[in-house]
Structure 1
Amino acid sequence: LQARPIALSVVDTDHYGLYADEEWKSSIPVGGGFLQTSTSDSGEKNFAAMSLYHQLHCLNHLSQAIAFGQNVSGPETHHAGHCLGYLRQMILCHSDITLEPVGWIEDFDGSIVKGATGIGVTHECRDWTQVRASSRITMRAGNGSREGL
């Protein structure tokens, strides 16, 4: 799938906010983004995860930990560590070089510092709605079930 390029202007909105549970849920398709890629000669189904949805899963996992104070110790430490490392590598992979203006902003502690928010800056992106529509078609064809994973 070659997703067409689109422009995205960054906005500060609840739609992408920390507590936008319904938005998070609606961004992951049925089957979690897992697609059946083939069936082996023995009848075993082979699956792959679409990276877009793996990235959203990881971002949601970390968001839940922050928003709701979920414990990421014990077994969850490995998952959180995996997600941080994976997202870092995906950001580096996509290497968005859009310039974001620097200005005076309020820092987390209330002090005024020079920094970049990215708000109002337009980026060139792939059309994720086209990717999602293609994913739905594939999953409707019976390839989106996690059954057998």
Structure 2
Amino acid sequence: MKGLTDAKGEYPRVRYAADAYAADNSHRRQGLRPLFWIFPWVTTSLLLLLSLYLSVKEIVRLRTELNTTLRLYHKLDTDIDKFGSFSTGWKTDFGAAKTAIEVERVRFKGSPAFRSDGSVYVPHPGPIDYVGEPSPELDEQWDKLLHNNSFMITEEEARATWPEEWVQAYSKMPEGESGYLVELDMFHTLDCLNEVRKMLYPKYYGAKAEYNEFKDLHKGHCIDQIRQHIMCSGDLTPVPTKSYDVLDGVSVRYVNSNYPHTCRNFDSIRNWVDERVVRYDRERNMKKLMHGDY
């Protein structure tokens, strides 16, 4: 049995498969242990980098928005200095009338709609009719808009309004008077619109058949005045095209303008002009009384 013992005379320990597996596993664990330590650091670093990237991206976005906002404010300030504003008055608005400016939101009315049988109606008519078959009542409504269109301004106001052309604005008035007679362009354009309305009903308004050069030019002027006024205002209110299903599956589309618009209050300006006319008439009558013209 001597061949089975070692130098100390002890039998060597038999290595079983389980022992070999345990030893291999121990070596593997020792080899993987550094990886378990590295993994949290790598994950944390990646999350930190991702967080840093997102933070930088957000900072860039906010800075871009801030720069855009600052540019808009700068442009707004520059534009206000140069042109004025809708709510406080444009540079081209008559200075004294700016006190009458009141901004409001108005829902337009009057857009037509279609029933399922194809008939047309106005679902939301305005409180006052300015269109339709002519009548004394209809003309009266337009007269309420357009009465006292013109008023006199002083020479000082004329100089401030037309610095380089105020002299040309001087005109002779009826009854031997003279001065600076003006009309706010809103009323001028409304008057043109009323003239176009009357053109649609020549029989009622007694239009003469013979050619009249001035009347022809005046018609063209009125249409072009309305065009320029609309294009100048540049209203950016979006209005949708609505679709209506009528008879036999036919679909009809029509623009619906019955949406809120930002406007200057008309009545406020109308009242201002009325007061200005009354004040001028009162001052004129007082001068006549003082000079014994009665």
Residue ranges of structure 2 left out of the alignment (5+ in a row): 1-96, 111-124, 156-169, 171-176, 283-294
TM-score by length of 2: 0.41
Q: CA deviation at 1:134?
A: 0.6
Whole-angstrom distance in 1 between the partners of 2:226 and 2:208: 20
Task: Specify the alignment match of 2:106 in structure 1.
Answer: 8
TM-score by length of 1: 0.77
Report SS of the residue matched to 2:154: strand
Report SS of the residue matched to 1:16: coil
Q: CA deviation at 1:87?
A: 0.8
Query: Which protein is richer in helix relative to its size?
Result: 2
Structure 1 residues 9, 71: CA separation in 2 closer, same or farther (over 3 Å shift)?
A: farther
Q: CA deviation at 1:143?
A: 5.6
Of the candidates 151, 176, 188, which is equivalent to residue 54 of structure 1? 188
Higher relative contact order, structure no. (Cα contacts within 8 Å, ≥ 6 residues apart): 1
Task: Specify the alignment match of 2:271 in structure 1.
Answer: 133
Does the 8 Å contact 1:37/1:47 carry over to 2? yes
Whole-angstrom distance in 2 between the partners of 1:84 and 1:59: 8
Q: Alpha-carbon deviations, 1:76-128, whole Å to 9, x = none?
A: 1100100111110010111111000111369xxxx85323131x211110001
Whole-angstrom distance in 1 between the partners of 2:265 and 2:139: 22
Name segments (4+ residues, structure 1) moved above 6 Å.
Answer: none
CA RMSD in angstroms comes to: 2.6
Whole-angstrom distance in 2 between the partners of 1:9 and 1:94: 17
1:92 aligns with 2:231: yes
Query: Which protein is richer in strand relative to its size?
Result: 1
Whole-angstrom distance in 2 between the partners of 1:45 and 1:54: 19
Of the candidates 202, 205, 217, which is equivalent to residue 78 of structure 1? 217
Q: CA deviation at 1:68?
A: 3.9
